[in-house]
Chain A
Amino acid sequence: MPRATSDAKLLIQSLGKAYAATPTNLKIIDLYVVFAVATALIQVVYMGIVGSFPFNSFLSGVLSCIGTAVLAVCLRIQVNKDNKEFKDLPPERAFADFVLCNLVLHLVIMNFLG
């Protein structure tokens, strides 16, 4: 049992060490993803407490967060220098895609919000 905890500790420590080596811009994206998912979770909790009455509002709120998180993950994949297949794609171009997709996503979200 103590072995297992120390193993887990070891694992987390090595994971943290490895993550510290991640470039800052990727860390920012990760933080953004966490922020978006956390917001979505809070809304889900709220829905669990009071019920899903304005269901479209709930859906648009949660989907806005999930959608932007997914887009951020896509951005992270494209920006990451270790991903060889996106080597030719400049990060600025990826960011432009991210902005455009977010704008389209939120237009739909606003339309659905009611």
Chain B
Amino acid sequence: MAAAGGLPASATLLLLVIAAVAVAPLASAVRPVSDAHRSAAAELFAASPDGSFGDLETTYEAVRTFQILGVEKDKGLIGKACKFAAEKLASSSSSPAKDLFHAARISGVLKCSVDSGVYDDVATRLKAVIKDTNSLLELYYSVGGLLSIKEQGHNVVLPDADNTFHAIKALSQSDGRWRYDTNSAESSTFAAGIALEALSAVISLADSEVDSSMIAVVKNDIVKLFDTIKSYDDGTFYFDEKHVDAAEYKGPITTSASVVRGVTSFAAVASGKLNIPGEKILGLAKFFLGIGLPGSAKDCFNQIESLSFLENNRVFVPLVLSLPSKVFSLTSKDQLKVEVTTVFGSAAPPLRVNLVQVLGSDSKVITTETKELQFDLDNNVHYLDIAPLKIDVGKYSLVFEISLQEQEHETIYATGGTDTEAIFVTGLIKVDKAEIGISDNDAGTVESVQKIDLQKDTSVSLSANHLQKLRLSFQLSTPLGKTFKPHQVFLKLKHDESKVEHLFVVPGSARQFKIVLDFLGLVEKFYYLSGRYDLELAVGDAAMENSFLRALGHIELDLPEAPEKAPKPPAQAVDPFSKFGPKKEISHIFRSPEKRPPKELSFVFTGLTLLPIVGFLIGLMRLGVNLKNFPSLPAPAAFASLFHAGIGAVLLLYVLFWIKLDLFTTLKYLSFLGVFLVFVGHRALSYLSSTSAKQKTA
């Protein structure tokens, strides 16, 4: 590290960040369920210290996920969960159908021993619920609970299966979606999945065959439901609600999981095959695998359970193509390896994989020659040497064609036909024709040019004054001999004494990378600091296996004296990483509030301002003011009172304006009051003036 020392820390960090960013998008593609999912599930469904997983639903999701993934849990946890479920089942008459449903399923998954008498009670209770309700969820919970009990080897028969089937079917809509109950107007895709699962449970529980015409109608509904499926560009399909309603909305993962659960269970019990295109099933599998490692326990359960339903279903078993590694090195002549497996990583039936097209990063077609991948039976991997493809370093999209070898498999498995995968090719970049030298400013006559070898650190020693230029040039070429433009090419000059650094981007043209540093224009940037500068060159790219940071040597600069007003070089931090550390806290200064007078003084003066009013009133009395002039006739008296009331109202409005109203509302009310006031004022005052005129004449 000391050799790399000097100060490559920040530059190296930058390179690492860029490299990580460049490779990251490629890492998040489809891979079958692996041990990573097992540890993620164990983490997401971590039991609380008292050994429980939470409520019944979460407990069921935990034990079911562990069952599918084959994660062993210790006996204590299983015992706790069994006991938890048994308690609920024992108090069947008071528990809602939902709790009984989850409890029965927990017992089923964990193979807890439950008294057959207890199950008889539960079954009676659930059958009563079925009879009474018209809510889809209640029906789902009770039918599902009964099915779970039946699957545990208990004899349960749904006597009026046809009626129950009709009750559920009555909630379906013309577009294949379902309503939650007869009263709700909104239909939902999530409910469709629930309903299909409930219908398949009814078929399993029925004592006699359910009407086959009804089953055909439901099959038709499923086909319509699949017409509403949504998709991404890359062949991923998923279900989501048509109307996003905040209260009922569950998100695409839960909705898709519900549909997958419903459709696969229905396909398992209904006779005949469902008419759903294989690419949609494959797209759903890609959707669930594309989640990668889920972030929440709910998503984890939905992902794993849906994939387990897809792994083995009667519609189509999706086969996913995936690459164990997406980064290939030209140097070590890596083989292109492709796996075609089921979603849980089991081997696919015999099939052929061809590479049919290679696209460059800008979707430019590189080659369309079809190459068949060899099959390695031991490792279950298809492979191909990438050297004959004549591809250079960079990003590529590979288009594969998958074909099943046996005709009868095509009705069982869905491969999607073609599949596009993004890969990244790295290699060694050749650096040559590196030259460094000093030239004079005017004629450009080169005084000294030295050839340098950028494969290793060199130590040229140059000297220049502010009238000269530093020249550096070199060429980069890919393994196939093309010009290579890396993400980062930097030349760094570091003043020995003050440790001030200057970074320059080295511009690249089609032929070479060349930088000319004209010191005349740089003296100010260099803070007029003469002396020895160390030279370093950094070249880096994610596709370049030999990215480097080379010490080139040093240059002795002779710059003019600093004028008076020249900026001072900034102080260099002792620790170069300190600039990534926390910044100094900015404290805000608020104006301190004005000093206010004591309350008592203010109250005293409020009282004092009232004194003149009192004086005014006393004065009025002493003057012998009276209201004799107030009109005595009813109509003018009314107008006069209204006039005074109007003035009072306007003043009251002003007070309201002061307290809470804004100017616009005030003006709005004032315009009405003003018109009123002008009218009554005119009437009142003209009456007064007419009476006084009469008095004069009389």
Contact = CB atoms under 8 A, between A and B. Distances in A.
Interface stretch (B52-60, B85-93, B605-613): B605-613
Interface string B613-632: 10110011001110000000
Contact of B663 (A43, A95, A111): A111
A54 to B, nearest CB: 8
Contacts of A91: 689, 692
Contact of A92 (B657, B666, B686): B686
B596 A42 contact: no
Contact of A49 (B601, B616, B657): B601
Contact of A110 (B601, B611, B647, B654): B654
Interface residues of B, number: 36
Interface in A1-43: 24, 27-28, 31-32, 34-36, 38-39, 42-43
B609 A31 contact: no
Contact of B685 (A31, A34, A42, A95): A95
Contacts of A96: 681-682, 685
Given A35-B616, A92-B689, A42 B611 contact: yes
B597 interface: yes
Contacts of A74: none
Contacts of B655: 110
A31 B611 contact: no
B480 interface: no
B623 A106 contact: no
Contacts of B595: 51, 53
B22 to A, nearest CB: 60
Interface string B219-252: 0000000000000000000000000000000000
A77 interface: no
A86 interface: no
A42 B657 contact: no
Contact of A107 (B596, B623, B654): B654
A87 interface: no
A110 B612 contact: no
Contacts of B657: 107, 110-111
A111 to B, nearest CB: 7
Nearest to B674: A103
B605 A46 contact: yes
Interface of A: 24, 27-28, 31-32, 34-36, 38-39, 42-43, 45-46, 49-51, 53, 90-93, 95-96, 99, 103, 106-107, 110-111, 113
14 contacts: A31-B616, A34-B616, A34-B619, A39-B613, A42-B605, A42-B612, A43-B605, A43-B609, A49-B601, A53-B594, A103-B650, A106-B651, A107-B657, A111-B663
